[in-house]
Amino acid sequence: MDLIPSPDSLGLPAPVWLLLLLHDVTQTIHFLFMNFVLGGSWFLLWLHFGRKVDWKEQLYQRCLSVLPVALSMAITFGIGPLLFVQVLYGQFFYTANIIMGHFWLGLLL
């Protein structure tokens, strides 16, 4: 029994260059939303603990209402790159998830 299974015998659903391009595009969008959430969280902390000024309170409330949407968009756009990795490197991706299964389950607990 091999540690890494053989590649999918059916082949890829599209050319490799297209799958790599779509992976890079979806990964970039995912990173944009992730950075928005991370930077927005630090910005909200700065607004919350800084001097209380009228315009800061309005900006704080506006950013606070946008941040949950940005987080859900970051999670949603994070699915695409995983699917492209699974299509392109399926035999390695599956094996890596089996080997790292305890780590991923530890994150959930």
Does 82 reside within a domain? yes
Is residue 3 pLDDT above 80, yes or no?
Answer: no
Does 47 reside within a domain? yes
**Of 94, 70, 90, 104, which is closest to residue 16 (Cα–Cα)?**
90
Q: List the domain range (segments joined by +) for residue 91.
A: 16-108
Helix ranges, the chain (H): 16-49, 54-77, 79-88, 90-99, 101-108
**What letter would DSSP give residue 3?**
S
Does 46 reside within a domain? yes
Does 6 reside within a domain? no
Q: How far apart are CA 60 and CA 46, in angstroms?
A: 9
Does 92 reside within a domain? yes
For the full predicted model, state whether its pTM sits above 0.85: no
- Higher-pLDDT residue of 83, 3: 83
Measured between alpha carbons, how far is residue 9 from residues 13, 19, 38, 41 in Å? 12, 18, 41, 45
Does 96 reside within a domain? yes
Does 4 reside within a domain? no
Mean pLDDT of the chain: 87
Does 69 reside within a domain? yes
User: Tens digits of per-residue pLDDT, 41-61?
Assistant: 999 999 888 888 888 888 888
Confidence of residue 29 (pLDDT cuts 50, 70, 90): very high
Confidence of residue 100 (pLDDT cuts 50, 70, 90): confident
HEC letters along 75-88:
HHHCHHHHHHHHHH
Question: How many structural domains comprise the chain?
Answer: 1
